[in-house]
Amino acid sequence: MRLRFNGWVYGSAHPRRVDKRTLCSNEATGQIHHVRREQRDPLSIEKHTAENSLIAALPPRCRANVLRSCEQVELQLEEVLCEPGQRIRHVYFPIEGFVSLVAVLDDGGALEVGIIGREGMVGASVILGVDTLADRAVVQCAGAALRMSSASFRRLCARNMALRMRVGLYLYASMAQLAQVAACTGYHVVEARLVRWLLMSRDRAHKNEFHLTHEFLAYMLGVRRVGITEAATALQARGLITYNRGDITILDNAGLEKASCDCYERGNLIYDAAMGLSCARSAR
């Protein structure tokens, strides 16, 4: 079976783009992706910096150094920031929306293994001397982000201990959260996992409405489509969400949090403990 989503065809040995809209080719890597840039505006960046928790938590001088090296860009839905094994040319600090880290299998299947929103960054492994990603980084919810070249990021980390420490803590939190997600995938029922995914997406997108097909959710959660259908139907019957032709709306946030497995709250606590926050959701 082949699934087409967000301009990609899954289910073949080599997932490929089929979108016909205007594309831009990266001559250095051969990567093809959507590009829509905004001109750098220091005032605009300063206005939005508090919306990326990683940058906002830095000391003033360090934060100013980071901002001077950033440009504000608009990440587009479906935009692929980096492919598995490809060199990381830029790091991204999301302000709005979120980026999914997707593990791509040899048979063309895919499984989402991480979500990055304004609480973190894409490409943090550069600080470890690892200049490639193991997974595909693809924009699943469009929005603004701050972007910096990986070379500039390495230089800043070399000169700023506060930045190195903050990014190191974030990497630890990310690895711990990944372990929690792996346990959740192996032991919890589809309904609870779907709820956890919706809550994590809500926290990063800062909205209660999404457009997600059953096929896409099945691939992201690594389950059969019928499992997603049954789980979504059950949540709708309980008045927690509405679902119609791929449009999902969260109706009861408190009720949805109660319906989630413990992994959602544990993931927040892991981030809190690592980053020194009293409430993970307040940082998002």
- The angle formed by the CA atoms of residues 93, 170 and 6, to the nearest 5 degrees, is 45
Per-residue confidence (pLDDT) for residue 238, from 0 to 100: 96
Contact 94, 101 (CB under 8 A): no
CATH dotted code for 3-168:
2.60.120.10
Contact 140, 99 (CB under 8 A): yes
Contact 101, 112 (CB under 8 A): yes
Structure-block tokens of residue 74: 């608009």
Entry pTM: 0.79
**Segments of the chain with pLDDT less than 50:** 1-6, 8-40, 42-43, 50, 279-284
Angstrom CA distances, 283 to 23, 272, 278, stand at 35, 9, 9
Architecture of the domain delimited by 189-260:
Orthogonal Bundle (1.10)
Contact 82, 133 (CB under 8 A): yes
List of residues 6+ apart from 182 with CB closer than 8 A: none
Contact 146, 95 (CB under 8 A): yes
Report how far residue 22's alpha carbon sits from residue 81's, in angstroms, rounded to the nearest whole number.
Answer: 16
What is the per-residue pLDDT across 48-77, written as a single tens digit (0 to 9) for each? 554 899 999 999 999 999 999 999 999 998
Neighbours of 103 (CB within 10 A): 15
- How buried is 240 (Cβ within 10 angstroms: 0-12 exposed, 13-18 middle, 19+ buried)? buried
List of residues 6+ apart from 90 with CB closer than 8 A: 81, 123, 147, 148, 149, 150
Report how far residue 223's alpha carbon sits from residue 227's, in angstroms, rounded to the nearest whole number.
Answer: 7
Taking the domains of the chain in order of start, what are their residue ranges? 3-168, 189-260
What is the per-residue pLDDT across 17-32, written as a single tens digit (0 to 9) for each? 444 333 333 444 444 4
Per-residue confidence (pLDDT) for residue 46, from 0 to 100: 55
List of residues 6+ apart from 67 with CB closer than 8 A: 42, 45, 46, 49, 55, 146
